């Protein structure tokens, strides 16, 4: 019984630490405590070394990523198009429209990321409206940048 209580305390302490880390991620900064607790239950921390591929253009996407630490290069048709770093998120398009990845993303430095699968991502969209609004604002910014790149001034 005592071991079980100690285990529960340890789990709760780890969850509280995770919520505090999430609070400092720009995508989650406006989230309520209950939204942060939901996010904490629906994301896992993963690490990649420099040179490792995070996503590959044309492959089916099954994860959503938020970069916590490090940088990565985004490539379309093997041409570098941008860099992403702490606070940036990738992979949401493939989960939203269930289509293939639009870019290859390669770690330039060691990466620490928060990762969510399709079921968890759908739950976050439905139950964490503050995160969803920031996600939509980020997508709108990308669309505007793409429009500027291809439309005449």
Residue 107 pLDDT grade (very low, low, confident, very high; cuts 50, 70, 90)? very high
Q: Is pLDDT larger for residue 95 or for residue 153? A: 95
Residue 10 pLDDT grade (very low, low, confident, very high; cuts 50, 70, 90)? very low
Residue 145 covered by a domain: no
User: Taking residues 4-24, what's their average pLDDT?
Assistant: 66
User: Taking residues 37-49, what's their average pLDDT?
Assistant: 92
CATH number at residue 8: 2.60.120.10
* Contact between 147 and 84 (Cβ < 8 Å): no
Residue 13 covered by a domain: yes
Residue 15 pLDDT grade (very low, low, confident, very high; cuts 50, 70, 90)? low
Residue 78 covered by a domain: yes
- In the prediction, which pLDDT does 139 show? 82
Question: At a CB cut-off of 8 Å and minimum separation 6, what does 35 contact?
Answer: 28, 127, 128, 129, 130, 131
Tokens representing 105 are 């993303």
Distance between CA 123 and CA 110 in Å, rounded? 29
Residue 54 pLDDT grade (very low, low, confident, very high; cuts 50, 70, 90)? very high
Q: What is the 3-state secondary structure (H, E, C) of the chain?
A: CHHHHHHHHHHHHHHHHHHHHHHCCHHHCCCCHHHHHHHHHHCEEEEECCCCEEECCCCECCCEEEEEECCEEEEECCEEEEEECCCCEECHHHHHHCCECCCEEEECCCEEEEEECHHHHHHHHHHCHHHHHHHHHHHHHHHHHHHHHHCCC
Residue 57 covered by a domain: yes
Domain count, the chain: 1
Residue 152 covered by a domain: no
- In the prediction, which pLDDT does 117 show? 93
Residue 41 covered by a domain: yes
Residue 148 covered by a domain: no
Domain membership of residue 8 as a residue range: 2-140
Backbone angles phi, psi at 5, to 5 degrees: -65, -40
In Å, how far are 24, 67, 112 from 86, measured between CA atoms? 10, 5, 9
Q: Which of 35-39, 62-66, 145-149 has the lowest mean pLDDT?
A: 145-149
Enter the pTM of the model: 0.79
Find where tokens 């079921």 sit.
119
Residue 119 covered by a domain: yes
Residue 101 pLDDT grade (very low, low, confident, very high; cuts 50, 70, 90)? very high
Residue 62 pLDDT grade (very low, low, confident, very high; cuts 50, 70, 90)? very high
- In the prediction, which pLDDT does 24 show? 82
């Amino acid at each position: 019984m005592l071991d079980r209580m100690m285990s529960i305390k340890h789990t709760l302490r780890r969850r509280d630490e995770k919520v505090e880390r999430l609070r400092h991620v720009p995508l989650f900064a406006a989230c309520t405590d209950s939204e942060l607790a939901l996010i904490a239950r629906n994301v896992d921390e993963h690490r990649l070394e420099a040179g490792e591929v995070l996503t590959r253009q044309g492959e089916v996407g099954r994860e959503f990523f938020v970069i916590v630490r490090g940088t990565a290069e985004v490539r379309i048709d093997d041409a570098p198009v941008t860099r992403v770093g702490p606070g940036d998120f990738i992979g949401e398009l493939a989960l939203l429209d269930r289509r293939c990845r639009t870019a290859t993303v390669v770690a330039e430095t060691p990466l620490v990321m928060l990762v969510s699968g399709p079921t968890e991502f759908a739950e976050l969209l439905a139950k964490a409206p503050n995160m969803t609004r920031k996600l939509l604002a980020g997508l709108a910014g990308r669309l505007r940048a793409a429009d500027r790149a291809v439309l005449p001034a």
